[in-house]
Amino acid sequence: MILAIAAHRDDVEQTCGGTLLKMAERGHQTGILDLTQGEMGTRGTPEDRAREAAEAARILKIGFREALDIPDGRIENTWENRLKIARVIRRQRPRVLILPYWQGRHPDHYTASILGYEAAFLSGLKKLPIEGEPHRPYKIVYASLYQDVRPSFVVDISDQFEARLQALLAYRSQYADQNTGSGLFPAEKEIRTRLETMAGFYGLLAGMKYAEPFVQKEVGLVEDVTAIPVSSI
């Protein structure tokens, strides 16, 4: 299973939604854990965001989606919050965990990254005082779309781009044109251009139309140097 953890509903759709869809189309189980309900958002209500998240999950063929009750705008790396996430990790038992990049403008985002990592570690402790069998993801990768860092790798989402766009636009409370927050949110007609530009840039790095970038902290392993993808010249 591939499980993506994010601070807010619609974060995953922006950063790795195409990758999750591609994995689902290849037969893998996929899931999203949103840490907050979105009650501090400029637009919409938690109820709006819940309905929209369900529709986005349908579009992306997500098998599991859940939102925790950590306060929006006040994600903190506490013992209680680590246990909340560890319970989900034990229940879902992902092999791959996708986390937000560990730096960023929004404190909720980079705190979610550290919180997710520490929860994944705790989840593997046999004596941790929560239900479920111990489990740790085999691989942790970081969705780095909005960071000025060179990715460790990118995932080709050329075939998934349109669905990824529709999944984001499912959040009508956030991205439909309206007076509230008009100075903070892009106009709806600009969203496609922005997504195409960013996905196109990362696709260009690897010789494809659209891609999503990721960072891994550990060194990669290659068994056959003649099979490494992406031409050097």
Residue 31 structural domain: 2-227
pLDDT computed for residue 63 by the predictor:
97
Residues 87-102 have a mean pLDDT of 98
Question: pLDDT band at 39, cuts 50/70/90?
Answer: confident
Does residue 26 form part of some domain? yes
- Global confidence as pTM: 0.94
Does residue 232 form part of some domain? no
CA separation for the pair 110, 85 (Å, rounded): 16
| pLDDT of 185 strictly over 90 | no
| pLDDT of 183 strictly over 70 | no
pLDDT in tens, 117-173: 999 999 999 999 999 999 999 999 999 999 999 999 999 999 999 999 999 999 988
CATH (domain of 222): 3.40.50.10320
For 125-228, list the strands marked E by DSSP: 139-143, 153-156, 211-215
Number of domains observed in the structure of the chain: 1
Percent of the chain exceeding pLDDT 70 equals 95
pLDDT in tens, 73-84: 999 999 999 999
Does residue 103 form part of some domain? yes
Cα dihedral 13/19/21/27 (nearest 10): -150
Does residue 233 form part of some domain? no
Mean pLDDT of the chain: 94
**CB neighbours of residue 119 within 10 Å:** 24
47, burial (CB in 10 Å: exposed 0-12, middle 13-18, buried 19+): exposed
CA separation for the pair 98, 6 (Å, rounded): 9
Does residue 67 form part of some domain? yes
pLDDT in tens, 95-106: 999 999 999 999
Does residue 90 form part of some domain? yes
pLDDT in tens, 40-62: 777 778 899 999 999 999 999 99
Does residue 165 form part of some domain? yes
Does residue 207 form part of some domain? yes
- Check the CA dihedral 41-46-51-57 and report its sign: positive
